[in-house]
Every structure is written in C-alpha cells, then in structure tokens.
Structure 1
C-alpha cells in the first residue's frame, strides 16, 4: 500500500490553518458616513458595495473572503448591501464622488475616496497599497 499512498496520498490531510474572519462592519445608515470620514483620518477605511442578487458580486465576495489578510488595526472594512440600503449606497456615491457600481470597493483616506474599482478590479492585494 505504500506505493499507492505515495501516488494517491494517505487520505490524511494536514489541517488547514483557520482563515481569519473579516472584521466586517455593516454599513446600514447614512449617519455612519460621518464616522467613516472621521475614522479615515487615522487609518484607511474600505467600503465593499455588494448586490445580493448579482452572481458577479457573489463571486467577488467569495474571492475577498478567501484572500483577506489585513489586520483590523490597519484598515476598517465595511459591507454595504446595496439592495437593502439603496439610500446609503446613493449617498456613498455622492459624498465620496464615485460612480455607483456593483460590486465595488472604495477606499477612504483623510475623508476622501482615494480608490474605487469594481467587478474584477476588486481584490485584496490592491488594498495593501493604501495601508
């Protein structure tokens, strides 16, 4: 059986290290934008705008969840369900002067949007540039 274990594995897999949970903060109210602006003066803030009815949004969210490796002390990250909180989504576009897209990642530093991208452009390695 030794040869087969070498070819096909022994069936025993090394345990995977647990993935750190993303420290999502839910963005559900326009009043939170004031806090985001204030907090972005101390560390960057990312807002992920997600459509719960869009397959691309679902795919991008899974990609974010599988690769997220940023410590909560380095960046705050918000999750915005734009279907449930359309008013908040619209205000994000106005306040930070970004065109509404979905899925979309926006990075706020010193009260200003310094980055915005959507669809395939949403990825965690890009967020590292703003830490």
Structure 2
C-alpha cells in the first residue's frame, strides 16, 4: 500500500489511476487499525491499487478528499474510485477484506 500525504499526491493518483482504493486512516484508532490491516491483506492478495492517507499527518488531504467526493469525513473510511469518481465507499468496522473483494468486482 502506498502512503499519500498531500493534496498534490492525491490529485496525481486520481489523474493517473483508472481504478483504485483510497483509505483515510487514523493512526490512533483501533477500529482504523483493523481497517488498515484488512486493506493491507486485500492489497497483498489482489492486483488492486490501494493507497492510504494518515489523517493525523495529512488532515488537509483528508478534508480535500471528503470535499472532492462530496462525502462527510469519517475515519476510517475507504473509497473505490473508477475514472476519477467514487463508485463505492464504507467506513469503520464495515471495512473488511471481504467487503473490499466484493467492491473490487463492481
């Protein structure tokens, strides 16, 4: 999984990748830690591109993503993005490897 910490890095991924997942991840929350592990396992066992934003280190980027995707900020929160648009998202304990696998086929 690739860490992104700036709005510019997010915009680059958005422009260069046709299909990817982006996780907004809290470094201090146990629920976010479990979501991160689910994403890591999913990324390790699939060809899907997965990036994450550590919100404590990149609050501006996290806020920018919520605004760009017209969603309320949550943490942890994951988006499946295709052609620059979110096609699926979920948050908190609903972020599981199984949910990611299902979302990747949509």
User: Which has the greater radius of gyration?
Assistant: 1
Same fold flag (TM > 0.5): yes
Q: Which has the higher strand share?
A: 2
With over 3 angstroms needed to count, the CA separation of the structure-2 counterparts of 1:40 and 1:96, relative to structure 1, is: farther
Aligned-partner Cα distance in 2 for 1:67–1:31: 25
With over 3 angstroms needed to count, the CA separation of the structure-2 counterparts of 1:67 and 1:25, relative to structure 1, is: closer
With over 3 angstroms needed to count, the CA separation of the structure-2 counterparts of 1:106 and 1:85, relative to structure 1, is: same
Q: Which has the higher helix share?
A: 2
Q: Provide runs of 4+ in structure 1 moved above 4 Å.
A: none
With over 3 angstroms needed to count, the CA separation of the structure-2 counterparts of 1:65 and 1:77, relative to structure 1, is: closer
Instruction: Report the equivalent of 2:91.
Output: 118
Q: Could you tell me which of 52, 75, 90 is aligned with 1:79?
A: 52
TM-score, with structure 1 as normaliser:
0.69
TM-score, with structure 2 as normaliser:
0.83
Q: Post-superposition shift, 1:66?
A: 4.2
Quick one: higher RCO (CA 8 Å, sep 6+), 1 or 2? 2
Alignment of 1:27-106 (within 5 A): 27-41=4-18, 44-68=19-43, 69-71=45-47, 75-106=48-79
Please list every run of 5 or more consecutive structure 2 residues that lacks an aligned counterpart in the other structure.
none
Please list every run of 5 or more consecutive structure 1 residues that lacks an aligned counterpart in the other structure.
1-23
CA RMSD in angstroms, aligned pairs only: 1.8
Instruction: Report the equivalent of 2:82.
Output: 109
Aligned to 1:31, the other structure's residue is in SS state: helix
Equivalent residues, number: 103
